[in-house]
Amino acid sequence: MLARLACLLSLLWFVCLCAGDPAEDWKTLRDSKDLAARIEAAKSLVAGAQQRGECGKLAGDLADLGTKFTTPPQLREAIAGALAGCQDALTAKELARRIGPGQEHEKLFLLHASRGCVDELLDRAVRERLLPDRSASVRAAALELLVKHASRASLPALEGILREGRDAEMLAPVVRGISELRRGTPEWGAWDTRLVELTSHKASAVRNAALAELARDADGSREELFLAALSSPDWSARAIALDWMASHFTKRGLGALIAQLAHEPDGSRLRADLASVLQHLTAMPLGDDPQRWAEWWKNSASSFEFPASAGGARSSERKRDARAGSTYIAAKFYGVEIESQRVIFVIDISGSMQQPLVDVPKDMPAAGTGEKPARIEAAKFELAKIVQDLAPGSIFNIISFNDGVDAWLEHLVDFGGAAKSGAGGVAGPRSGPERAPPREEKAAARERERDAKAEAEMRAQAKTYIERLGAKGGTNLYDALETAFEDPLVDTIVVLSDGQPSAGKETDPAIIRADVQRWNQVRRIRIHTVSVGTDFEILRWLAKDSGGDHRWVR
């Protein structure tokens, strides 16, 4: 008995120790200049309140602090995350009372803090006041909360958004949200049929979102649907179909993948992905050469059996191995392989890029002074090099950002379209990089010569733009990413930055991450990132979320 009592007393002492002193925590939270200490104080306050069953008593005060404009974004995120652990009715009532008018950061804070409070009155306030909000970020966060709370009462509102079709930014998230709320319910059968119909919707966002939702199910009977999507003119649809067929493999599907390989341009991202999937499914090291694959399949189709490893996870090493035997050599940016013909480079030119770089590129010419080059000079060197090394026929753009955002071109453009750079923008793209060849060889030769000349001129103009880049001002990462995502042709984005976001529409890393995830839900854009100086979390997030690579150079 005494031993049990001693154990309970020890446990009580430990709990009190972990909870901390509320008065001291409040003092630290409000007055300390140490951001890490303030974050820990917020977590300690909420942990103690949870143990005492008193979350609702401090929810209002914490919400007051969390919604202040002067509260650092990291602290605001920590307070909201801590409050999200409170699940009592009083906290839900306090948060519901505050939901409504306010600035974007206030609404987003309240939505994050409300994640743990599954309460119909709270959900109704979110549905009625924030789901129609002017801010796309708020609307998306409101939808995410309603889905997390399994708010089936929100289905009519979501159906209304989809039916009206006016909110283009919300169409794909709404399709995903409705699917989440109906999956596993008696309504799923009818919605599943509707999803198939939506794959023919006039809006590409709806088509691809419906296709992506159907791809999440283990239903192998959808092969006809995904075989059709594999040859879609929309590369995002082809990417979704490829992912499905990599998991639901059949000999018929394998033949279709081999046939499609010939239609993806050499050096393109989808060609590299197709080669990776083919090697994974067959264990054949045939690279990305369509002719080799076609000949192998012609001789092996009748007797082929999938290897035991075909259903397993694909590794990044296997993807690189898929290039073995190819004449194509991927261009590199700070060591990151760029397997794409539709790429946008998003480059930080803020004032901190004037600081000296520690990890100087090995092939960068040494400065006569013997000093380390500035980060901006190394970035310009790497940019100029990759502009030269990108595969012939590549279409690319450069977006630079500091307090504002500037783009070399208005959008990706086919070099064969004789585009012109400069303040006036560019000529519109032709039908894209995959053009039908001319009928006569002489005409084809003339066109190749004309395209090569236009391409050389464009690369020279890109280098001129790069040479003129300077470094000053803040770090407007959000607006730069938004500009890149506005291009309908891009399939790969490469981001280089040396600072935390400090300018633009949004500077909170968590919100930037959430918005990019929303933009990329059905686009399937791969984002590679390079951190210079400090290894910033937001850049690691962007790469991880999109299946890209991340590099840190000091």
Neighbours of 443 (CB within 10 A): 11
Residues 382 and 489 in one domain: yes
Residues 483 and 548 in one domain: yes
Residue 460 lies in a domain: yes
Residues 132 and 169 in one domain: no
Ramachandran category for residue 287: left, alpha or beta (phi over 0 → left; psi -120 to 50 → alpha)? left
Residue 239 lies in a domain: yes
Q: Quick one: CA dihedral 456, 459, 463, 468, positive or negative?
A: positive
Between CA 229 and CA 235, with CA 232 as vertex, the angle to 5 degrees is 100
Structural domains of the chain, count: 4
Biggest alpha carbon–alpha carbon distance for the chain? 99
Q: How far is CA 45 from CA 57, 58, 334, 461, in A?
A: 11, 9, 44, 57
Residue 109 lies in a domain: yes
What are the phi and psi torsion angles at 494 (to 5°)? -115, 120
Q: Given 137, 159, 181, which residue is the final one in a domain?
A: 137
Residue type, 439: R
Q: Look up the pTM and report it.
A: 0.81
Question: Using alpha carbons only, how large is the chain's radius of gyration in Å?
Answer: 27
**CA 181 from centre of chain:** 23
Residues 394 and 527 in one domain: yes
Residues 130 and 179 in one domain: no
Residues 374 and 232 in one domain: no
Residue with tokens 């067959």: 282
Neighbours of 158 (CB within 10 A): 22
Residue type, 475: T
> What domain range includes position 172?
150-206
**pLDDT, one tens digit for every residue, the chain (554 residues):** 445 544 444 444 334 444 568 899 999 999 999 999 999 999 999 999 999 988 998 999 999 999 998 998 889 989 999 999 998 999 999 999 999 989 999 999 999 999 999 999 999 999 999 999 999 999 999 999 999 999 999 999 999 999 999 999 999 999 999 999 999 999 999 999 999 999 999 999 999 999 999 999 877 889 999 999 999 999 999 999 999 999 999 999 999 999 999 999 888 899 999 999 999 999 999 999 999 999 999 999 999 999 988 866 665 544 445 554 455 578 899 999 998 989 999 999 999 999 998 888 888 887 666 788 899 999 999 999 999 999 888 899 999 999 999 999 998 876 544 333 333 333 333 333 444 455 567 777 787 788 888 889 999 999 999 999 999 999 999 999 999 999 999 999 999 999 889 999 888 888 899 999 999 999 999 999 999 998 989 999 999 999 999 999 98
> Tokens for 492?
């790969």
Residue 515 lies in a domain: yes
Residue with tokens 């030769």: 445
What CATH number is associated with residue 362?
A: 3.40.50.410
Q: Given 79, 110, 137, which residue is the final one in a domain?
A: 137
Residues 252 and 298 in one domain: yes
Residues 370 and 459 in one domain: yes
Residue 432 lies in a domain: no
What does the alpha-carbon distance between residue 356 and residue 266 come to, in Å, rounded to a whole number? 38
What does the alpha-carbon distance between residue 353 and residue 280 come to, in Å, rounded to a whole number? 41
In terms of Cα–Cα distance, which of 96, 38, 92, 37 is closest to 65? 38
Residues 54 and 27 in one domain: yes
Residues 306 and 386 in one domain: no
Residues 124 and 164 in one domain: no
Between CA 222 and CA 231, with CA 228 as vertex, the angle to 5 degrees is 140
Residue with tokens 């998230």: 173
The DSSP string of 206-230 is: HHHHHHHHHHTS--GGGHHHHHHHH
Residue 410 lies in a domain: yes
What does the alpha-carbon distance between residue 236 and residue 210 come to, in Å, rounded to a whole number? 12
Identify the helix (H) or strand (E) that includes residue 179: helix 168-182
Residues 202 and 243 in one domain: no
In terms of Cα–Cα distance, which of 123, 109, 49 is closest to 77? 109
Q: Given 95, 111, 137, which residue is the final one in a domain?
A: 137
Residue 447 lies in a domain: no
Between CA 334 and CA 339, with CA 335 as vertex, the angle to 5 degrees is 105
Residue 503 lies in a domain: yes
The DSSP string of 88-129 is: -HHHHHHHHHH-SSS-HHHHHHHHHHTTT---HHHHHHIIII
